[in-house]
A and B are shown apart, each in its own frame.
Chain A
Amino acid sequence: MSDKVLEVKDLKMHFAPRSTIFSKSNAPVKAVDGVSFHINRGETVGLVGESGCGKTTVGRTVMRLYNPTSGEIIFDDQDISQLKGNELKGIRSKIQLIFQDPYSSLNPRHTVGKIIEASFEIHKINPAGGRTAAVKELLAKVGLNPEHINRFPHEFSGGQRQRIGIARALALQPKLIVCDEPVSALDVSIQAQVVNLLDDLQSEFNLAYLFIAHDLSVVQHISDRVVVMYLGKIMEIATTKDLFAKPMHPYTKALLSAVPIPDPEIERKRERIVLQGDLPSPANPPSGCVFSTRCWKATEKCRTEVPELITLGVGNPNERSYACHFPEN
């Protein structure tokens, strides 16, 4: 058994647009275009980037909610990118998902007990001591009152609902949980409770998280390593410490500089890199480096030649990668 719970190699997910009576554009949307990274057992990898950069698509493709265009998804030493039917179903119990919106991701007509029990039902699992007892135990684990098993989602607050979503994800004892913006819909004081809960559960069950978020301060807090994406491609991968202290890719630097710091004195002194313009369309990405249209360092080389993802210190714990012709530092 390797140390890696998940390894993604050159993953591509292109969506072909439907042609309509108005347009016959056949350019596919390259939501994910050649992405490679790995997650070790018990590790949290943050996945950050602006909306539309493909981070959610990566999460969903890894879970095999989409059929990847090409590339490998190696989960637990097995390539799952082409699995079908029952084989796929078996793998799915080991990878679970926590959604962003705790309001729309729970069925309003089912009780909490039924929602969580559904996982057992689907995979025909009968835990020792019975399903109801297992659900109660899960509720207690995520800090909810087990007596509330017969309540409906609307009887809970946003933070509590997110806990229900987490209990559901834990039910089948997964090895990897894909967390897609799990705290961005919550108030700050509740956000901290949920982040702490995820931390505790990770140490208890040796879970690995793929933590997708746009809030860099939360990502920094929870992740061991961070992957930065831009327009379907990876810009940089590094340990959280290295990435935040010494970003190598100009895009990472700009992204970090845009995050406001809750400290007025620091804010007054701060020099900010404000990126101009918006994310280009993934159906029609710029030639060369995809970031070149907004990069202040871009030269002719950047506009014509695609930078490869270069890895420094392969195999050692501080291994880091970047895709840039003119890296910082």
Chain B
Amino acid sequence: MSRLLEVKDLSVSFPTDAGVVRATQNLSFHLDRGETLAIVGESGSGKSVSSMAIMGLHNPGRTEISGEINLNFGENNLEVVSAPEEKIRAIRGKNVAMIFQDPMSSLHPYYSIGNQLTESWLIHNGGNLDSKTAKAKAWERAVEMLDLVGIPDAGRRVKEFPHQFSGGMRQRVMIALALINGPDLLIADEPTTALDVTVQAQILGLLKDMQKEFNMGVILITHDLGVVAEVSDRINVMYAGKLVEEGTVDDIFYRTSHPYTQGLLNSIPRVDSGVAEKLVAIPGQPPSLIALPKGCAFSPRCEYVRQVSSHDCKVEIPDSIEVASGHSRKCFLKETYLPAGKGR
């Protein structure tokens, strides 16, 4: 069976007056059904840009995209980069769906929840938007979805407007909206960042249940490594538009191999650590995507640069090297594993 999603050599750049913004460069990764892939990295590392590309949401006039994004839904295959807009439209919202960070600004304030839910369903299933029977069916389906995502009294609340829901409830509505057509692939872009921890726990639990229910592949974009540890199977670590390390959750947390991943793991305080030791911050700032440093983009902030004798990190760009099966990194360092997190 072929993979649900296969991204090959994806590069996205935006020409601007100040220069070309290289948002992602030569990104390759894949995702299977029922699997959760987490994409982690700081702001501006290219996490959201790559997921927008998968949804075919970039404006072709202002974006340069190269590479391949192969989606495989069994009967309905598509290569997104070269596909015409109407083909992408047919799968967007049906086979591929997305949940955004801010549930208030991604729901339309003037339309009722039911109105927004049924619209998405009718476009992909109803055909005739004016048909009364199709509409009635869509409303039934909307109530069913709200019920499924745990909104109490769904029959009444379906007629309400976004401002009548709390933050957590709105995010549940967003999930219902994304799942109403039973997608094969769900992209969740910082789905719990705007929520309180107690509500975050509810929403993460719900996402896990829904993944089982629909047998979806899930891409989770986040900067919260705690959330990553909780829900993901595999992790892509991104820095300045490149994939610097990829592997299973255990690879990344216990067999950390890239200095940037190590820096990320060391800079987060943990509630279970007990003692308040000083945090190990990564010095400096992430680079500008218009003027990337020569060589490895992380080299200006990397403490290992001097230990590398075989290459000059500030001139040469490291290729992806497999350190174990399914676990690879882009780094010249001799040591394969670096102490990080609890083991440091």
Within 8 A of A (CB), among B63-118: none
B219 within 8 A of A: no
Chain B interface, number of residues (Cβ within 8 angstroms): 49
B197 within 8 A of A: yes
A51 to B200, CA, bound (A): 12
Contacts A192-B280, A262-B228, A263-B342 hold; do A221 and B201 have CB atoms under 8 A apart? no
Q: Are A159 and B285 in contact (CB under 8 A)?
A: yes
Q: Are A193 and B281 in contact (CB under 8 A)?
A: yes
Complex interface: chain A residues within 8 A of B197 (CB): 50, 214, 216, 255, 258-259
Complex interface: chain B residues within 8 A of A241 (CB): 274
- Give a binary string over A247-280; 1 marks a CB under 8 Å from any B CB, 0 the rest: 0000000111111111111110000101110110
Q: Are B228 and A199 in contact (CB under 8 A)?
A: no
Contacts A189-B264, A192-B281, A240-B276 hold; do A261 and B166 have CB atoms under 8 A apart? no
Residue of A nearest to B194 (CB): A51
The contact of B223 among A50, A188, A216, by CB within 8 Å, is A188
Q: Are A217 and B270 in contact (CB under 8 A)?
A: yes
A187 to B268, CA, bound (A): 10
A270 to B205, CA, bound (A): 13
Q: Are B198 and A196 in contact (CB under 8 A)?
A: no
Cβ distance A17 to chain B, nearest Cβ, rounded Å: 16
The contact of A221 among B42, B200, B205, B276, by CB within 8 Å, is B276
A191 within 8 A of B: yes
Q: Are A222 and B223 in contact (CB under 8 A)?
A: no
Q: Are A157 and B282 in contact (CB under 8 A)?
A: no
Cβ distance A207 to chain B, nearest Cβ, rounded Å: 17
B278 within 8 A of A: yes
The contact of A157 among B167, B285, B341, by CB within 8 Å, is B285
The contact of B269 among A189, A220, A254, A274, by CB within 8 Å, is A220
The contact of A196 among B43, B166, B226, B279, by CB within 8 Å, is B279
Q: Are A258 and B201 in contact (CB under 8 A)?
A: yes
A263 to B273, CA, bound (A): 11
A217 to B224, CA, bound (A): 12
A245 within 8 A of B: yes
Contacts A262-B226, A262-B268, A264-B229 hold; do A245 and B274 have CB atoms under 8 A apart? yes
A279 to B283, CA, bound (A): 39
Cβ distance A295 to chain B, nearest Cβ, rounded Å: 12
A159 to B43, CA, bound (A): 12
Q: Kindly name the residue among A157, A240, A241, A259 whose own CB sees the greatest number of chain B CB atoms within 10 A.
A: A259
Complex interface: chain A residues within 8 A of B317 (CB): none
A283 within 8 A of B: no
A220 to B167, CA, bound (A): 25
The contact of A262 among B229, B250, B283, by CB within 8 Å, is B229
A257 to B265, CA, bound (A): 20
A259 to B225, CA, bound (A): 11
A15 within 8 A of B: no
B300 within 8 A of A: no
The contact of B230 among A51, A267, A278, A279, by CB within 8 Å, is A267
Complex interface: chain A residues within 8 A of B281 (CB): 189-190, 192-193, 196
Chain A interface, number of residues (Cβ within 8 angstroms): 47
- Give a binary string over B227-266; 1 marks a CB under 8 Å from any A CB, 0 the rest: 1111000000000000000000110011000000001110
A37 to B198, CA, bound (A): 25
A218 within 8 A of B: yes
Q: Kindly name the residue among B224, B264, B265, B267 whose own CB sees the greatest number of chain A CB atoms within 10 A.
A: B267
Q: Kindly name the residue among A158, A188, A190, A217 whose own CB sees the greatest number of chain B CB atoms within 10 A.
A: A188
Q: Are A261 and B270 in contact (CB under 8 A)?
A: yes
Complex interface: chain B residues within 8 A of A199 (CB): 278
A93 to B272, CA, bound (A): 37
Q: Are A261 and B278 in contact (CB under 8 A)?
A: no
Cβ distance A132 to chain B, nearest Cβ, rounded Å: 26
Within 8 A of B (CB), among A162-218: 187-193, 195-196, 199, 214, 216-218
Complex interface: chain A residues within 8 A of B279 (CB): 192, 195-196, 221
Complex interface: chain A residues within 8 A of B286 (CB): 187, 189
A220 to B341, CA, bound (A): 17
Q: Are A260 and B168 in contact (CB under 8 A)?
A: no
A residues sitting closer than 8 Å to B (CB atoms) are 50-51, 157-160, 187-193, 195-196, 199, 214, 216-218, 220-222, 240-241, 244-245, 254-267, 272, 274-276, 278-279
Could you pull out 23 A-B pairs where Cβ atoms are within 8 angstroms?
A50-B196, A50-B197, A188-B42, A189-B267, A189-B286, A192-B267, A192-B280, A214-B197, A254-B198, A257-B201, A258-B198, A258-B200, A261-B271, A262-B268, A263-B253, A263-B270, A264-B229, A264-B230, A264-B250, A265-B250, A267-B230, A276-B202, A279-B166
Question: What 16 additional pairs, Cβ within 8 angstroms, besides A50-B199, A260-B227?
Answer: A51-B167, A188-B264, A189-B286, A192-B282, A193-B283, A216-B197, A217-B270, A245-B274, A256-B271, A262-B225, A262-B253, A263-B253, A263-B341, A276-B202, A278-B166, A279-B166
